[in-house]
Chain A
Amino acid sequence: MGQSDIEIMLEAPTTVGALKSMIKLPNGASLSEASLTQTIMAAVDQEMVDDSAMVSVTSEVAFFPPVTGG
């Protein structure tokens, strides 16, 4: 997504979907806006999840494009 890591202070647990609207890309769009035109996958604490998954105040969250290994 053009950024390797950012730190966000959460006051309370939230969802992956809500977090996406808080994160702005270098072009000003939020991650949730960007996900309308491209597939953005998410992992919480290194486990693949969807937008409804909970994020705790200490979670490691990653957003990335569809994987292309192998």
Chain B
Amino acid sequence: MYRSILIQPEDFSLDRALTDLKAQSGLAGGLCFFTGAVRNSNLDETVGGLYLEHYPGMTERQLDLIVDEAARRWQLHGVIVVHRIGNLAPGDNIVLVAVSASHRGEAFDACEMIMDYLKTNATFWKKESIPDGHRWIESRSSDQVKATAWDA
């Protein structure tokens, strides 16, 4: 299975990911893409931007383990994960998870599982700019519930 895991300040291209996944396997009949983007408001406050931090080395390794788990559960042809770090503005892309499989079912499920595990297991932290200054974003228990559901 083809895999590409990138952590980078630069933006990514969905077209490029689509082209790569198709080029890697002629069996890729179902391709699913998830993109997370920066919102302009959170908890009733205007958000001017986000700062994203990670744990170099560990974060890459965890993403690799998450993709391993997806590949163990479903017959996949390719997985691309790109997560941005550094300063981002409202509307900017944060994360891309792109999965190719023979049919849509595996692609949808694997894409969702990778995102759910990424939210709870990958060492990234977000700080947002609000009118009064900055605040670190707190984790949401609903994310933990979603990730745990895959363990059942």
Chain A interface residues toward B at CB < 8 A:
39, 43, 46-48, 62, 64-70
Task: Tell me if B122 is interfacial: C-beta within 8 Å of chain A.
Answer: yes
Of the residues A39, A62, A68, contact of B58 by C-beta under 8 Å: A62
> Quick check: B55 and A68 within 8 Å, CB to CB?
no
Please name 13 pairs of A and B residues whose Cβ atoms are closer than 8 Å in the assembled complex, sorted by A.
Answer: A46-B55, A62-B55, A64-B55, A65-B139, A67-B121, A67-B122, A67-B125, A67-B139, A68-B126, A68-B137, A68-B139, A69-B119, A70-B95
Chain A interface, DSSP helix/strand/loop, else mixed: loop
**B residues near A62, Cβ cutoff 8 Å:** 55, 58
Chain B interface residues toward A at CB < 8 A:
36, 52, 54-55, 57-58, 61-62, 83, 94-95, 115, 118-126, 136-139
Chain B nearest Cβ from A62, distance in angstroms? 6
Most B CB within 10 A of own CB, among A43, A65, A70: A70
> Quick check: A65 and B136 within 8 Å, CB to CB?
yes
Chain A nearest Cβ from B93, distance in angstroms? 12
> Quick check: A68 and B95 within 8 Å, CB to CB?
no
**B residues near A39, Cβ cutoff 8 Å:** 139
**A residues near B120, Cβ cutoff 8 Å:** 67
Chain B nearest Cβ from A48, distance in angstroms? 7
